[in-house]
Amino acid sequence: MKRNLLYVAIFFLTHFVQAQYNPDAPWMKSLKQSKKTLSKSIDSPVTFNEIVNAFNTFWKDKNANKKGSGHKPFKRWENHWKNFVKEDGTLPTSRELWDVWTSTQQYKQSSLNADLSNWQPIGPTDFTNTGSWSSGIGRINAIIVDPNDSNTYYAGAPAGGIWKSTNLGASWTPLSDDLPQIGVSGIAIDYSDSDTIYIATGDDDNGDTFSVGVMKSTDGGTTWNTTGLSAITSEQLLMNDIYIHPSNSNILWVATSRGVYKTIDAGVNWSNINGTQNLNIKDIKLKPGDPDTIYAVTTNTFYVSTDAGETFTNSGFGTGLPLSSNRLVIDVTPDNNNVIYVLSSASDDSFQGLYKSTDSGVTFIEMNATVPATKTEYPDYNDDLFDHSTQAWFDMALAVSETDENEIYVGVLNIWKSTNGGDNFEEVNEWHQPSTASYSHADIHLLRFYNGALFAGTDGGFYRTVNGGTNFTDLTAGMQIGQFYRLSVSEESSEKMIGGLQDNGGYAYNNNNTWLNYYGADGMDTAINPDDSNLMYGFIQYGSGLYGSANGGNSRNLVIDAPADEVDEGNSDQGGNWVTPLMMNRDGNLYAAYSSLYELCGGYWSGISSNFGSNNNIDVLEIDEVNPDNIFIALNNNLHKSSDKGSSFTNVETFPSNITSIEVNNNTNNIVYVTTSGPTGGVYKSIDGGLTFSNITGSLPNITKNIIKHQNLHSQNPLFLGTSLGVYRYDDSVGDWETFENNLPNVSVTDLEININDGNITAATYGRGVWQTTIPTETISDEISLEALSDVHEVVACGSPSSAKALVKNRGTNTVSSITINYSLNGNSNNTIWNGSLPPNSSIFIDIPSMVLSGRGLQELKVNATTSGDTFPSNNELITSFYSNESGLLNVVNEFESTSDELVTFDDNSTCTGYWERGEPTGTLLNMTQSGTNVYGTNLSGAHGNNLKSYLVSKCYDLSILTNPLLKFYMAFDLELNYDIMYVEYSINNGLNWQILGAANDVNWYNSSTLPGSNCYNCPGAQWTGTDSTMKEYSYNLSALNNETNIIFRFVFHSDEFTTNEGVIIDDFSIEGTLSSTETPLQSVVYVYPNPSHNLFSISVKQINSFNLNVTDITGKTIMQKYHVKNTNGSYKLDMSGYASGIYFLNINSEIGTATKKLLLK
């Protein structure tokens, strides 16, 4: 029976470590307990889904959103390893992963064509903090100083390898890019020969990388070899500290998840030490001055060896330590080699206690570990040494000074210091204060003293203090160890990009070799506006927050929460998937995929599609570059397609495993590519828009396929595949995959971006930052592209035709002599032809003739450019949207009671319907009107949204026919003082430029003159803010603008990112004054265009149903007369063919008066 129980214990430990996750996480312990029956366990190794389900069950009634809860580390692991799940539901073993790496090396040797890649590191290796609350670059697990050269440091990253500095951390060199995996959790340097280095591989804290045992270098890290403890001989071990005997460098010990291993022949052979076999050893230390004495701890037991690690025992040691705990760490000091400190976490991984032994571990006493009173800024974080964290299974560190046994440092979230042996502690730093001198990133994995200096390895990097924590120096600069989830590259240049890093937020790269860390948390999916590469957007985890920058990451000026319908705080549902898909289409519209598809409308998310289910978040999002009406999404292994911009979706295909990536061919959008998960997952191609697929996996090794991208403007349709081990290339001429990875480390590639303008492909990696290489391009004889549309205003003049310019580029080698521009406005089509000489690689703006607008509201302009022999017509079309307006009647009060009273509304950087709405106000404070039942308001029934800049635009007015013009309206408002504001602007050039109307000291106008520098958020220096919930009349004298014949006003509502009140309501808007004796109200709403004309004039008459007209010549003779003209669509065509060139006068009569316009007939 005992033998069977031992077998069960060994089986469980083996299979739980095989699951590639820290077995001490509390849900792993629950899962282990639930599976603990011999009959069940023999046939059922732990599956990926079992781990995920155990995690979800554990967190069901807990607050996962609290900093340091322990929730996020698992979600990072789940996101990384979900693509590795095998067909039987388990994860591959380290032996299987090693075999995959071996097969990739063989595959590389068998490639028929030369690998033309030349990957170069882009960073980040350093950064400027422009808005992050927790800045850093990447996680560090291990740090050691060369025992023979105090200027030489080594650092180990969980997915970024081992790095070496020979100048006290001023610069760094990677040493392990050619290894089959590059996670490092322990480093040892030979005391007698610094060229001999050992590393304990893998990530022992969170399983970001698997372990291939202990590896050894004898040439200072230039080359590496396996030892007797390898992926083959030590399958599925997690490893941490490794030590060399100080007087016999052939003897080493390494702590693993299955006990302490020892070698006496410099790594050739290893033995699993008696007394620790199959124990999860969490920490190990040598007694100073007595290397025969070794201390080791499991999660809850203290062990000692007194025979140089031949045997370990807990008998007679550890009295006074807790009877149960979930993790122990230890440290010793040469100041008193009998002293041992043990830091313990409780069963829920919260702080349990600090314990001290003065008799080499025989007995321990608990120290008081008193901390100061709770701080008010983060009241939950500061009243114990763990800052109320419950993730000690993931990170927990302890260090004792080499020269003072009473100087102790503890780290979990922040670093704490005691100078009296642990009785009292003071906080050294705060994880959310990156501008302070003592700052270090949160999540402390390592604290260790070398040569009087304290070193810290954290989730953000490598830190050192030489003055007891008063100042910490960040030594990470030079290490490229960022774990990127996603990346976006500007269409303008591949030197502009933005990416999201694990626990280190959003990074922007902006043409000057500088990375800007402009927001914190876990940076996720990102997007860059195709028309303005300074407009950048990035998600944090779950899509719970969108962070925008309008200046390329130099600051963050937008924060938008997840849609309210996607958040359930009671169930810790913060939004979408851990990595919530974010994508911008070619027209600059930003989409996010939660359980529904959303579009960003200024400062809020607007739902587009129906909901796919509360537990069915969208996994992948792809928008067709050729036709943005086509949108593909993936939910698990199901591919869905929309042909109406996401309003409705159809399930078009189901794959054998979950979909990891979707790509629409940029040349021919009937071709669609899909990659699927698992080592045997495939690459698939459709040639009918996604209705059917063929398998093009070819002879690829059994690597996971993360991302696929298509290179446009190439007849052979090159594809690039980012995998768990590098990048592969495919094209139609070869018909199979070839390696594309020269100089690229053996690391998982999580995203790829191609910039065809400069011929570069950029790769985001999970552990080695960003890399870039040129790609083979194709010479094309005849090729043009429509690059942009310009001179299309936000709001255009009332009744005037719209004009625009098309920017066309010659991408071919032949000179272009003729270009046809086909254009349509709201379905009314026309064309113009340009003739001239456009040399290769040159661009030209081509004028698009004036087009008649169709009333007030959103207009859609579609433009297509063609030339003879054009090779790729897919990049020849652009669509843009803008708003048109109409003329307003003077001396008429707009009471907003009917649809004819509606105004144009829109939000900043958005073509969505504006946030202002017309209707009945029913708020708590704002519930009145001045007349009738309707007003315009920012929210008619409650609080307004955050992060809004929304416009309510008046009709257009001719002030030149008024004397003493006055703008009048009634308003009530409830705004957060100095944070949410409202003001009025005007434009006299069709909405191209806007100016603030008036100043705060004007009579009956603004109530605030505060500027942004005086703590007034976004304030221009003249605004309404605060609360005045009584409907009052406001007026402004427009005499200074009396000469303007076409002026537009707009109300600007601007809210910040936090507190919301009820906002603003407006009623009874008017432009009043005395009409000059020669002008009538009708005169201001009649427009004629084009004028002059060869024969046909368009007459725009707004806001009346019919009219009479007559045309007279210069002598006053009537030459044409028409009665009861129907004002269809607000426009009438006047044909003057056959009349002599000259000046004529158009006279219009209606029920509201008469108007006269001069006509010039060519």
Vertex 140 angle, CA 139 and 146, to 5°: 160
pLDDT for residue 858: 82
The widest CA-to-CA distance across the chain, in whole angstroms, is 123
Distance CA 282, CA 255 (A): 7
Beta-bridge partner residues of 877: 864
How much of the chain, in percent, has pLDDT values that exceed 70? 94
pLDDT for residue 1162: 80
pLDDT for residue 1132: 84
- What is 899-1074's CATH number, 2.60.120.260, 3.30.450.20, 3.50.50.60, 3.20.20.10? 2.60.120.260
Distance CA 1079, CA 373 (A): 76
- Quick one: average pLDDT of 520-529? 98
Q: Nearest Cα to 1113, choosing from 1146, 1156, 1091?
A: 1146
> In this structure, are strands 857-866 and 877-884 parallel, antiparallel, or unpaired?
antiparallel
- Quick one: average pLDDT of 118-134? 97
Q: At what angle do helices 48-58 and 71-81 cross, to 10 degrees?
A: 160
Least confident piece of the model among 603-607, 712-716, 885-889: 885-889
CATH class of the domain at 139-281:
mainly beta
- Quick one: average pLDDT of 309-333? 96
pLDDT > 50? residue 916: yes
- Quick one: average pLDDT of 1037-1061? 92
Least confident piece of the model among 192-206, 291-305, 656-670, 819-833: 819-833
Residue 12 pLDDT level (bands cut at 50, 70, 90): very low
> In this structure, are strands 683-686 and 694-695 parallel, antiparallel, or unpaired?
antiparallel
**What is the reported pTM?**
0.88
pLDDT for residue 859: 84
pLDDT > 90? residue 1105: no
pLDDT > 90? residue 224: yes
Least confident piece of the model among 310-324, 775-789, 1102-1116: 1102-1116
> What is the per-residue pLDDT across 936-988, written as a single tens digit (0 to 9) for each?
999 999 898 888 889 999 998 989 989 999 999 999 999 999 999 999 999 99
| Encoded tokens for 769 | 């930052």
Task: Collect all residues with Cβ–Cβ distance below 8 Å to 13 and sequence separation of at least 6.
Answer: 23, 257, 258, 278, 280
pLDDT for residue 15: 43
Distance CA 807, CA 934 (A): 44
pLDDT > 90? residue 641: yes
Q: Nearest Cα to 986, choosing from 1034, 1041, 1045, 1049?
A: 1049
pLDDT for residue 41: 46
Beta-bridge partner residues of 1122: 1109
Distance CA 120, CA 172 (A): 16
CATH of domain 784-884: 2.60.40.10
pLDDT > 60? residue 1003: yes
pLDDT > 80? residue 466: yes
Q: Is 126 within 8 Å of 515 (Cβ atoms)? A: yes
Distance CA 623, CA 636 (A): 18
pLDDT > 50? residue 677: yes
- Quick one: average pLDDT of 508-532? 94
The domain locations on the chain are 2-91, 139-281, 286-480, 482-618, 784-884, 899-1074, 1081-1161
pLDDT for residue 800: 62
Q: In what order do the strands lie in the sheet with 302-305?
A: 283-287, 290-297, 302-305
pLDDT > 70? residue 38: no
How much of the chain, in percent, has pLDDT values that exceed 90? 73
Domain 286-480 has CATH 1.10.1740.10: no
> What is the per-residue pLDDT across 858-880, written as a single tens digit (0 to 9) for each?
888 899 999 999 999 999 999 88
In our burial notation (b when 16+ CB lie closer than 10 A, e otherwise), range 879-892 reads bbebbbbbbbbbee
- Quick one: average pLDDT of 468-490? 98
Residue 14 pLDDT level (bands cut at 50, 70, 90): very low
- Quick one: average pLDDT of 189-206? 96
pLDDT for residue 797: 61
Arithmetic mean of pLDDT over the chain? 91
Give the fold, CATH level 3, of 482-618.
Methylamine Dehydrogenase; Chain H (2.130.10)
Give the fold, CATH level 3, of 1081-1161.
Immunoglobulin-like (2.60.40)
Q: Could you check whether 286-480 and 482-618 share the same CATH topology? A: yes
Distance CA 455, CA 446 (A): 8
> What is the per-residue pLDDT across 751-790, written as a single tens digit (0 to 9) for each?
999 999 999 999 999 999 999 999 999 999 999 999 998 8
Looking up tokens 């979930």 gives: 326
Least confident piece of the model among 512-526, 607-621, 711-725, 1088-1102: 1088-1102
Q: Which segment, 261-265, 825-829, 1107-1111, is predicted with the most confidence on average?
A: 261-265
Of residues 181 and 842, more confidence is placed in: 842
pLDDT for residue 853: 72
End-to-end Cα separation, the chain, in angstroms: 110
- CA 589 to the chain's CA centroid: 16
